[in-house]
Amino acid sequence: MKRLLFVFSGILVLILSSTTFHAVDGEIQNNHKPVTDTFEIGLLFIGDIMQHKPQIDAAWDKTEKKYSYDHSFQYVKDVYDIADVTIANLEFTFGGKPYTGYPMFSAPDAVGSAIKNAGIDVLVTANNHTCDRGRKGIIRTLEVIDSLDIPRTGSFKDIDDKANHHPLIIEKNGFKIALLNYTYGTNGVPVPAPTIVNLIDTAQISKDIRIAKLLDPDEIIVFYHWGNEYERIQNKEQIMLAELCYKKGARIVIGSHPHVLQPMQRFRLDENPDVEVAVAYSLGNYVSNQRQQYCDGGTMVYLKLRKYDDIVEISQFGYILTWVWTPVQQGVKKFYIIPVSKYEQIPGFFDAASLSKFNQFAKDSREHLKKHNVNVPEMIWDAETEAWRMSDDE
């Protein structure tokens, strides 16, 4: 893929295929012409991509003598086609050998290639495991991502790198979207200079949103790594941080870290009914070796924006449940991400034990989200039309 790189007064522009990603440092004014046509963009958000040691072991191809992860995404990669931009949380490092799982993650570079091959477009990298391999691990992780031409934000090699990747600006389909990413901490490991990890700080977040607004984006999205692990309901701090974003002008908030699903909400602000906001408090685990109840799956959140006459509206907001299937094949435990709605319609796909766990995850998740979601339906696979649709569609 051709990659064109231009640098003008601190402005970095990346042109990748038909999508442009760039980042701008400083308070720069940018004139934006009124939109007279109608534009649409579909965004897909993915939760925690993790690499526990059993996943690393399972990825070793004895025949080819190399690591391979493409199979993990084979049942879900076609889902990415519904979106124009797919954004995921990378919760491990490319820190090099020795490859290790919890509690200090470092996975083979082949995971990155599989992420790229599957069609994931953007990675956020600020989370509690960012510093697992120290300064060298942070830098090497970013270098691997850059070598794959995957735009990223959240952690940075140094202050200059941060200037070129924060906020990350995504341009696609006539839209300009600013993406910000923060984590609650790094497991008590100090962030080693000169590297930088965006930490949750309300004053800094307010400033960053203000700077992002000066770039005149159509939307500002904040992707947080926050909340309490294994708690299925958002806490007061998450609610406060989401409300901070709405107040400052970022009306889309996505969350990760708890390793379980937390509610999603779409509503209009009481103090300003003209403003509609969308929040997903926790997307859960996208792929991991956590097999306990509620942790063995997650969700992809789909959000469609429509723009006309310089007005941007949220036209769709829904979720697609995913479950991690771990069959033993040829003596090796494999890890596959399975879109629930599609594969629950295929009789005989799972063995009996896997089917029981699959059904339990689907039941738990649907009951929980139906009870606590606000105006956010499940997206289901329509086998007749071979397309994904909102479950509340006619």
Type of residue numbered 17: S
pLDDT digits (tens, 9 = 90+) for 96-113: 999 999 999 999 999 999
Instruction: Return mean pLDDT, the chain.
Output: 91
What's the N-to-C CA distance of the chain in angstroms?
41
Return the pLDDT at 309. 87
Range scoring the smallest mean pLDDT among 26-40, 54-68, 145-159, 300-314: 26-40
Return the pLDDT at 204. 98
pLDDT digits (tens, 9 = 90+) for 277-304: 999 999 999 999 999 999 999 999 999 9
pLDDT digits (tens, 9 = 90+) for 331-373: 899 999 999 999 999 999 999 999 999 999 999 999 999 999 9
Return the pLDDT at 19. 59
Question: How many Å apart are CA 49 and CA 41, to the nearest integer?
Answer: 24
Residue 23 has pLDDT above 70, yes or no: no
Residue 6 has pLDDT above 70, yes or no: no
Return the pLDDT at 326. 97
Return the pLDDT at 17. 43
Q: What are the tokens at 251? A: 């009306």
pLDDT category, 36, cuts 50, 70, 90?
A: low
Return the pLDDT at 158. 98
pLDDT category, 130, cuts 50, 70, 90?
A: very high
Return the pLDDT at 330. 87
Average pLDDT over residues 152-164: 97
Those residues with Cβ within 8 angstroms of residue 352's Cβ, 6 or more apart along the chain or in another chain:
none
Domains, the chain, ordered by start: 3-390 (3.60.21.10)
The conformational region for residue 174 under phi > 0 = left, psi -120 to 50 = alpha, else beta, is left
Return the pLDDT at 310. 84
Helix-helix angle 236-248:202-214, to 10 degrees = 30
pLDDT category, 75, cuts 50, 70, 90?
A: very high
Return the pLDDT at 35. 43
pLDDT category, 14, cuts 50, 70, 90?
A: very low
Exposed, middle or buried by CB within 10 Å (0-12, 13-18, 19+), for 330? exposed
- Of the candidates 155, 156, 180, the residue with the CA atom closest to the CA atom of residue 168: 180
The share of the chain scoring above pLDDT 90, in percent, equals 87
